[in-house]
Structure 1
């Protein structure tokens, strides 16, 4: 149930400072190009629009920038809060804050760092109610999802809501790294069937990974190899007569290259994945780099709408239909990779 008081509070705060949007300072530009500083950017932007006495302070931000300093900052904040976790007060999706975050933070990251671009934009429909199905990879913060959401918003003015692992909402580590309920406020939909179905029923634009966590879990050795597709998106597409828009991302596998997943430690810490790569030493020194990724070029190839999803009641037949779509998209990915390779030669 939507907390109306929290939503009204957030709207009021945004309106009060609508004429004083967040502007990049020299420190913010420094944080953009200094990997441990990305977490500072996210939190500083949140604090600009919200009263957040439990958030990080300037002393703790300064500690982020030094080796092992994040651990001291975490201890400082924990002691400052009286040895308790941050409060969780606001937690509902707010399109106004999503737009502010997109224009004031994501724009710089997408344009100058990931160089995100849409290809075959003529395949973008005018309708907003759809499931945007994309190959998901990178074994890191979901930058391929976030970048596509930003680009679709710029191209069509859509409000895109990504389906996200429940870990991004409730893992005890997340409430220390990112502002409380940050994922929900920015529009994340919990990757649970009931939440997914509710969002689709409301005619929203949902960004979805048919591979689920199998996409990023596969690691560098299987890059650009689509994993088994779930069937829930096809079931909901048929039930609510909402089309599926396939999008193929090239470049996402390079967000964290040469990475493998440590499954036993991943399960121990109850994380969606635990990537290990040559960057691991840097991540130990600077844990705040957990939201950072390698500089790359993210290109999104928009495919024609899938409107001919057959109404299939039998689960086995529906599974086969989903895998046929996976094979079709795998062929297209292979063709794109060959084309890009030829152009580079």
Structure 2
């Protein structure tokens, strides 16, 4: 018996002698609407996978929003009760600012004043800087709108620390809220401490002269004091950023001042507007003017020696440069605005 297994050739040995097989014809991929067998199911699944999820019902959306708000409120209450929030040496409570104060201001900014911001790229992402802005409106709402605009529009959501007048901090409730919102007295020592610690600081050099001026003098900058804000910037080597605000002049057009009543109440002025005090609390509602906030090119102070802060002429020149920059920007914005209330 022959034990050698028989080898069965699966392919012909002389492969090259055989003619090549014809290339199989490739049919085009079926498009939507075709009913090629075996592929209808795969196309249906593919289309179903790319379709957006069905929209939620209004009740589901409301329940989700309410549940989310309840969660935020519970977390806020827990942190306030347990003291799980930091407060700096000035009394700044960032948790209260972001959880309560700023959310209360957003409807006024977004829906009532419709604040439009430009030049945000001029505000540094880190380090100290001094923002100098014009002041107006009879009631200083421009400071609050400025702080909210920087927090919401800046890529780092920086907190603006305003330098405010003594009168603000003498008021029982408002003074405490101002401290918790990050603001402090408008004095050189506090300004320098904030700038040296890398904080974004804001100042309104016009003071009550600006916020309380007559409507006939709108958008005409008042005197900028003695240039103390420039000295603070020079001593700390921080840039000065001019800021121009259009729209604040029209919220409470001041037509007159009842000075005897202002002295009785220990106020810098007691305004008379088209609606106040004639309409009582209704007259206290600000008019819905359209706001524009523009941040100008930073003015560097690194070219000055620290001793230059004690030179009145140098401080006057820089102060005048800042003031002129803000005034010219105000004029430019006003020429672009067609109507105080529609923009």
**1:332 aligned to 2:329?**
yes
Task: Give the alignment's TM-score, normalised by structure 2.
Answer: 0.66
How far the C-alpha of 1:152 sits from its partner, in A, is 0.6
Match of 1:163, SS state, is strand
Which structure dedicates a bigger proportion of its chain to helix?
A: 1
* Corresponding position of 1:294: 287
**1:238 aligned to 2:230?**
no
* 1:58-77 correspondence runs (5 A): none
Q: Note the aligned Cα RMSD (angstroms).
A: 3.3
Match of 1:19, SS state, is helix
CA distance in 1, matches of 2:102, 2:299: 30
CA distance in 1, matches of 2:217, 2:79: 41
Change (3 A) 1:196 1:125: closer
How far the C-alpha of 1:282 sits from its partner, in A, is 4.5
Task: Give the alignment's TM-score, normalised by structure 1.
Answer: 0.66
CA distance in 1, matches of 2:257, 2:191: 27
CA distance in 2, matches of 1:266, 1:310: 42
CA distance in 1, matches of 2:79, 2:267: 29
Match of 1:281, SS state, is coil
Higher RCO, Cα 8 Å, sep 6+: 1
* 1:1-345 correspondence runs (5 A): 19-21=71-73, 92-140=91-139, 142-156=140-154, 157-171=157-171, 175=172, 178=173, 181-230=176-225, 231-282=227-278, 285-286=280-281, 292-308=285-301, 310-311=304-305, 312=308, 313-341=310-338
Q: Unpaired segments of 5 or more residues in structure 2?
A: 1-68, 82-89
Q: Unpaired segments of 5 or more residues in structure 1?
A: 1-16, 23-44, 52-90
Alignment: residue pair count: 259
Change (3 A) 1:342 1:102: closer
**1:127-146 CA distances to partner (integer Å, 9 max, x unpaired)?**
34111111110011x21111
Change (3 A) 1:267 1:199: farther
CA distance in 1, matches of 2:184, 2:102: 21
CA distance in 2, matches of 1:202, 1:326: 26
CA distance in 2, matches of 1:209, 1:286: 28
CA distance in 1, matches of 2:175, 2:291: 29
Match of 2:337, SS state, is helix
Change (3 A) 1:221 1:48: farther
Match of 1:115, SS state, is coil
